[in-house]
Amino acid sequence: MTGTAAREIEEVMLDPALRDVSEWVFDLSEAERLDAICAYALVRPLLMTSSPDVVVHVRGAREQAREILRHTGAARLIRFED
């Protein structure tokens, strides 16, 4: 998953109809690599608009993707699952 998908990801997550979602699930089991641009695209809308109660379940992420997501500043929101 690279930055080319970042704009589409942000547009979906910033949809007003999803504003009150309190739990997100990101299945990254098929992602071989996650770059920093895409990682920030995944979490930026959550950091900008979400309440502190939002939880993000990240499933199947490889270690490289986990490290990138930890560096986004969204560690308080993320729960990694195998």
Q: Is the pLDDT of residue 47 over 70?
A: yes
Q: Taking residues 21-41, what's their average pLDDT?
A: 89
- pLDDT, mean over the chain: 85
How many structural domains are present in the chain?
1
> Which has the closest alpha carbon to 41: 79, 74, 64, 76?
74
Q: Is the pLDDT of residue 5 over 80?
A: no
> Which has the closest alpha carbon to 80: 40, 72, 62?
62
- Full-prediction pTM beyond 0.85? no
Q: Which residues fall within 8 angstroms of residue 44, CB to CB, at 6 or more apart? A: 10, 72
Where in the sequence is the domain holding 9, given as residue range(s)? 3-81
pLDDT category of residue 10 using cuts at 50, 70 and 90: confident
> How far apart (Å, rounded) are the C-alpha atoms in residues 28 and 62?
8
Supply 37's token pair.
């641009």
Q: Taking residues 32-55, what's their average pLDDT?
A: 82
